[in-house]
Structures are given as C-alpha cells and as structure tokens.
Structure 1
C-alpha cells in the first residue's frame, strides 16, 4: 500500500554511483538504474522543533526513497511510495 512521503532531501546517490556505496545488497538491486534519495520525513523542522527534539533525546525521522527522478540536497520531495521489505526504505519508481 502506497504512502505519501514528504520531506527534505538530505542526500542523493546517483544511479551511476550506487556501486561506490556500501548499500544493503537488496537496496542496491532495487535501486539499479534509479536514484537512492535519503530524506528527512516532514521537511525541515523549525528552530523550536529542533530544540525540542534535542531536549527529548530524539532524532530525525529519515527515510530512503528509490526514485526515478533526480533530486538535489535540500530539495523538497513529495511522492507516493510503497514500503519495501527493508525497514525505512520506500519505492517510488
């Protein structure tokens, strides 16, 4: 079942560079010919949200999305994606 993923792109791995990264073999196979996009779910938090997260000892909610579209660090992403067998990895291709 597809989910709406909204967030801010933290890092992108180009399809030509996938072999240069130490990815899980299942993720590398799924991403063949596509972009691996790591994003912060929900977008960029405000300063107050960041402080609150630090005080609570929390962390950002990062997800990985396999896409056929190129994104750059800092871009906003809004896609419908299906969860994969890997925890925190979604397929939007």
Structure 2
C-alpha cells in the first residue's frame, strides 16, 4: 500500500556557522518540528567560504521541512540576521513522506 505524500515547504538557510545556536533557538521557538544542519563550502556574493580554518570562514546549511505558516514565520524571523552576517534563505514547495 502506497503512503500518501504531504504538501509542505523546504526552507534552506545557508549562513555563517557562528549563527548555528541562534538559528537552532529560532527554529525551536518558531514551531519547526525538526531540522538538518550540515557544513557547507562555496563561493558567492559574500565571498568564498571554504571552511579551511575551524570556526573561521565557515558556513552551515540548514534544511527544514514545514508548513507554509511556519515557513513564512521563519523567513521573517531570519531577515534581521542579514544585516550583520552572510546569510541566504529560500523556500520551495515540496511533497514528502513524513
């Protein structure tokens, strides 16, 4: 018997690793039920982030599957961090098994 897919949003945040604890607190307070964090390297508008020195010049990628309501709340709560830190965030509508 095939399980049904649920409509949800995938929020992806790529930010400086120094924000990890603040992002986790924000996610928990927003009502997100879970998240995944991985180390990220790359280059873009904010320069290169190669993670070659532990704790310096490093990025993380945070992925959250959630409802549209929580997605909207997260995006709004993340916006102020862009003023001081390298951070991008985007969302995608997805279907998934939970």
Question: What TM-score do the two structures reach when normalised by structure 2?
Answer: 0.28
More contact order relative to length (CA 8 Å, sep ≥ 6): 2
Structure with max Cα Rg: 2
Question: What TM-score do the two structures reach when normalised by structure 1?
Answer: 0.29
- The structure carrying a bigger helix percent of its residues is 2
